[in-house]
């Protein structure tokens, strides 16, 4: 059994799952692309500061942050390949 929480490595939303007009959430962040036609009219990012503070208190925080960032960067790098 792992001592890691279920949210481990998932600080950032998985942007490969982003759909228009549907909030995409992670434990800390919510992103939304609002579109009423052919183009995006609004982009928003919400930070749950209480959740962020709680994450920073977690004993796994540093490793979780590193893994979350690595996953995010690699997903972005392969997005257009």
At 79, is the pLDDT very low, low, confident or very high (cuts 50, 70, 90)?
confident
Positive or negative: CA dihedral 8, 11, 16, 18: positive
**8-65: pLDDT as tens digits:** 999 999 998 999 999 999 999 999 999 988 888 999 999 999 999 999 999 999 999 9
Rounded to 5 degrees, what are φ and ψ at 18?
-70, 130
């Amino acid at each position: 059994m792992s001592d890691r929480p279920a949210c481990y490595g998932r600080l950032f939303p998985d942007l490969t799952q982003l759909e228009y007009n549907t909030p995409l959430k992670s434990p800390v962040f919510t992103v939304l692309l609002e579109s009423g036609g052919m183009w995006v009219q609004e982009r928003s990012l919400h930070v749950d500061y209480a959740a962020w503070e709680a994450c920073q208190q977690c004993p796994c925080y540093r490793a979780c942050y590193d893994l979350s960032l690595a996953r995010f960067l690699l997903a972005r790098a392969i997005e257009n390949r």
